[in-house]
Amino acid sequence: MKTETQEKFDRIIKESFIEILKPLGFKKKANNFYLPLEKIGHIINIQKSYYSTKDDIRFTINVGIFSPEYWLACFNYHNKDVPAYPTEPECLIRKRIGWMRGLDDTWYTVTTTTDIEELITEMKYNISSFILPFFEKLNTVQKLVNELEASETLLHTAAKMKFFAELKLLDKARAEYRKISKENYNRYKIASLKEYAEKHGLI
């Protein structure tokens, strides 16, 4: 039997995440929501703290932009097909709700005394005001490419280079590779990136 706290947590998931995301086409698996689009995907993960208990649940929200090509290049360790339900750590771009709101890392607490309505309202605000607009800006490959070119902070240089290379955008990949020697990578990482660049004809 679930505790009162666990039931409250379930209500938060149902009355904010499920009720908003399911009509938009997101599929739920455990505490993950995934929307596959053409050549990219959107992921929302509700992460419970390692220190949560059945009577004291702490959680945060992770958001990801998934790229099948990037996954095949960087995460396909066992020669498998692209997963039907990828996870947030496998994403090209990963953000947490605190960063998206311009705050410090933000965790929410659910106990027997938690005002459940207040938390549900805040989750709806997170989704409608921050998460969905973020996804809207990055809902096609072309939008993603444009945003990556314009932003120096959305994704680090090595990942950007690999993403462009996997999409066969070789001029863009070369431009990113040229930045690598000026950045703070150790010599083993530099050697690995040089090997990747040579393999893909970037140098």
How much is the average pLDDT of 134-155?
94
pLDDT (tens digit per residue) in 90-100: 999 999 999 99
CB distance 48 to 58 below 8 Å: yes
> What stretches of 67-170 adopt beta strand conformation (E)?
93-96, 108-110
Closest CA to 180 of 158, 200, 196: 158
Q: Would you place residue 149 in the very low, low, confident or very high pLDDT band (cuts 50, 70, 90)?
A: very high
Taking the domains of the chain in order of start, what are their residue ranges? Answer: 4-139, 156-199
Helix (H, G, I), strand (E, B) or coil at 100: helix
pTM as predicted:
0.92
Q: What is the pLDDT of residue 58?
A: 98
Q: Would you place residue 77 in the very low, low, confident or very high pLDDT band (cuts 50, 70, 90)?
A: confident
> What average pLDDT does the chain have?
95
Distance, CA of 188 to chain centre: 27
Q: Would you place residue 87 in the very low, low, confident or very high pLDDT band (cuts 50, 70, 90)?
A: very high
How much is the average pLDDT of 107-130?
97
